[in-house]
Each structure stands twice: as structure tokens, then as C-alpha cells.
Amino acid sequence: MNHIIRNATILTMNDRNEILEHSDVVVEGGIIARIGPGAGKAADNANIIDGSGKLLMPGLINGHCHVPMTLLRNYADDMDLQTWLFEHIFPVEDRMNGDDIYWGTLLGIMEMVSTGTTCFADMYDGMDSIASAVERSGIRAQLSRGQTSNDPGPDFSQDPAMKDSVDFIKKWNGAAEGRITAAMAPHAIYTCSPAYIRAIAEMAERLGVPIHVHLDETVREHEECLKTHGKTPAAHLYDLGLFDLDTIAAHCVCITGEDMVRLKEKDVSVIHCPASNLKLASGIAPIPEALSAGLNVCIGTDGASSNNNLNMWEDMYLASILHKGSRRDPKTITAADALRMATANGAKALGMPYVGSIREGNKADMILVDLGKPHLKPLHNLYSTLVYSAQGSDVSMTMVDGRILYQDGEFKTIDREKVYYHLEKVCERLFG
């Protein structure tokens, strides 16, 4: 179906940072066909959406997530990462089956589309179930099978996770009308042997897919890597050749200035996950320095059990205010910087130049924000309003590929009651 959004304020996030007032956006065949005042007048047979009093902007791009971890939301909190992961999270994950993952994913997608996220990058297991949920829901995603092995190698031809990952990529890369892309994901340096990381890099190169990895999330990871390999985690992965592939690196809490030079040289994108890093007490990533070093920085929520939600507005807000406070510098990471990280930078990181900005010819991944709420008035500065005042619940419409997934509290592609019913059954089984 074609759509015309009439008379909205448009935050384009294009290279010129244009903001258009009283403008229309015409969506034809899933593509943004025309933009501008009166652009929607001539089109016929289109669904007309009144954009008066609303802001139209690119959908948010969540650069790092483990979406089925919605099932573990508020299950294990207030503990350090290693205890949280190894003693609480991994044992439940070992009990999860494909059905659990499917319903947990749909729950997470409901949360994301109702708060304006149109695309997410995910690393998990049970990828067929995640991809099926993505396909059915209409959201866009870059999906990767998280791989762990401390086998010294060098032969990983019988490695089940490697086989799983390759099968997944062959089956799903480019599926769902191109909404699903696939990546390979060595989980982290502390869960993967050097030979395993090298084997994953070689396979990813052969299959032509990018890399999604956790990088230098904690002081412990950083120090153990120095002790074991005599170099930082970023230097370790650089030397193993992983960064020769298009890579998104989540967290980067402890990266050094030299690491930033390495990451910049290889064009690695940094995924900043401020809520997760704070909640797991991992620390604060050096994002102002990363931006000064010219790195492409985007924002991720991480899984819902270390955040504890998938609401990008909170992470955008934190990304902007956190560094001001810790540096005592109110000028660092402006509201516009944070918005760019959550939109255009995310698109660049995921190799999706066709989303992340409102531009003719782009895919119609966009949202409407209701500016009529009391906490959004008066409207002095749009960027400030969105980053410092807006909430995920201010999103009134979410569209992906020209299809409305969420509008005025209603999910158009997901049966909310059915998801809640299955969620209850899943939780009885997993935690009962």
C-alpha cells in the first residue's frame, strides 16, 4: 500500500541536517518517493496519514541486541557481568528451545516497534526462530549466530556453531524482501580462542558477510587479554584479521587511544550501550574521544536483561547526558550527535545506506512522534526536545519498508494477546 503523510515536521537526518516544516512524504512501493510541502497532493490510491502536530523522522536503529533475552528481563539483576552471565543467564539459555526464542523475540519486537525502532542488530542462538519472528513482524534486522569455542583449533569444520552459522547465513541472508541480512558473530575474545576467531573471519570473508562482536566490555576482559595475549582486546582482534571485515563492535568501554586508531583504520563501528554498561557496572565508554578520533559511533540497548528494556530513547538520552556529567563538560555529545548515532550512524554501521535518513529513494523506515504532549512543549529546539524530553511512548506510528507495523497503540502485524499467552507458557516452562 502507498502512503501519504501530510503536513508533518520532518527531521531528515540527511547530510545537511535539514528540518522541513509543513511537509508531506509520499511512500510508493516501500520507498520514499517524494518529500516536500504539497508533495502529496497529486497521488491517488494512497493511505492518507495526518501529520499535523507530529514529527516524522527516520526510525531508530538499535546497533546491539540479544532480543530473546526479553524472557530474562528482571530475572537476575544487581550483580557483576561474569556472575550474571555465567551463573544466571547461560543456565537458563541452555534450557531455551526454538519456541521460547520465537515468542521472546516477538515480545522484543513489539517493544521496539512501539518505541520507534525500525531495525536492530542481534547476536544470539536459535536464529531460525528469530529470523521467523523478524520475517513475520515486518521489522528490519541484521542477525548473527553468536559463536563461542575455546578449542585451540585449527580445524573447525565439525564445529556445531560454525555449521549453524553458515546454514543460517545461506538460508536467511537477504530474506524477507531484503529486510533480513546476516552477519557472523564471534561472541567475545574471552569466549573464543584465537584460532576460532580467525576461522570465523575466514568464513565470513568467504560468505561475504560482516562481523558483530563484543569488544572490551569490562576491565576484567581488558586486563586478562593483556595478560594472556600481551595486547588489548582491540589489538588482538586487529592482529587476527577480524577487522579486515566490516565490523560492528559492541561496548568498547575500555578501548585505548591506540585502539581507536586501529578501529578507525579498519572503519570499525562502535556500538555504545550506555544503559547496559552502567547497570552491569562495566563503566563508561570513551565516546567523546571515539568521536574525536572520527569513529562511527551508534547506539545499542543490549539485551533486555541488562538494560532492562529495548527503548532506544533512554539510551539516546543517556548517551548524551552521561559524558557531560562524567567529563564535567556540557558541550560534549550534543542532542544532535545522539540522534545521529541512533539513526544515520546506525545505518552506516550495518551497511544499510538505504535507511537512517528521510531522503527520496530511501526505504520508508520512519516514525511519527506526537509533539502534542505536555512534556514536549514549548518547542524551542527539535533535537533537544527529542533527546532530552521525549519518551518511547511518544511514538505514534512506526513504518518499515513502507508497511505500518504500529500505529496509535495498535500492533498491525503482531497479535499482542497471542504473544502474551505464549509468553506465560514459556515462562512456566523455563522458570516454573
**What residues line the site for Zn ion (CB under 5 A)?**
302
Query: Rounded to the nearest whole angstrom, what is the least distance from the CB of residue 51 to Zn ion in the complex?
Result: 36
Query: Rounded to the nearest whole angstrom, what is the least distance from the CB of residue 100 to Zn ion in the complex?
Result: 19
Query: Rounded to the nearest whole angstrom, what is the least distance from the CB of residue 189 to Zn ion in the complex?
Result: 14
Nearest residue to Zn ion, scored by beta-carbon proximity: 302
Query: Rounded to the nearest whole angstrom, what is the least distance from the CB of residue 250 to Zn ion in the complex?
Result: 5
Closest CB to Zn ion among residues 66, 266: 66
Task: Give the integer Cα–Cα distance in Å for 61 and 295.
Answer: 17
Q: Are strands 117-124 and 403-407 parallel, antiparallel or unpaired?
A: unpaired
Closest CB to Zn ion among residues 111, 302: 302
User: Could you tell me which residues are beta bridge partners of residue 140?
Assistant: 119
Closest CB to Zn ion among residues 249, 339: 249
Question: What 8-state DSSP symbol labels residue 125?
Answer: S
430, 68 in Cβ contact below 8 A?
Answer: no
Task: Give the integer Cα–Cα distance in Å for 107 and 68.
Answer: 8
Closest CB to Zn ion among residues 300, 402: 300
Closest CB to Zn ion among residues 142, 362: 142
Per DSSP (E only), the strands in 150-264 are 180-186, 211-215, 247-251
Closest CB to Zn ion among residues 69, 387: 69
Query: Rounded to the nearest whole angstrom, what is the least distance from the CB of residue 176 to Zn ion in the complex?
Result: 23
Q: Which three cell numbers stand for residue 389?
A: 524530553
Task: Give the integer Cα–Cα distance in Å for 92 and 14.
Answer: 43
358, 366 in Cβ contact below 8 A?
Answer: yes
Closest CB to Zn ion among residues 214, 266: 214
Which among 43, 31, 32, 37 is positioned nearest to 8, based on CA atoms? 37
Query: Rounded to the nearest whole angstrom, what is the least distance from the CB of residue 127 to Zn ion in the complex?
Result: 15
Query: Rounded to the nearest whole angstrom, what is the least distance from the CB of residue 13 to Zn ion in the complex?
Result: 25
Instruction: Classify 396 as helix, strand or coil.
Output: strand
**Helix axes of 127-137 and 98-114: crossing angle, nearest 10 degrees:** 40
Number of H helices, E strands in the chain: 16, 17
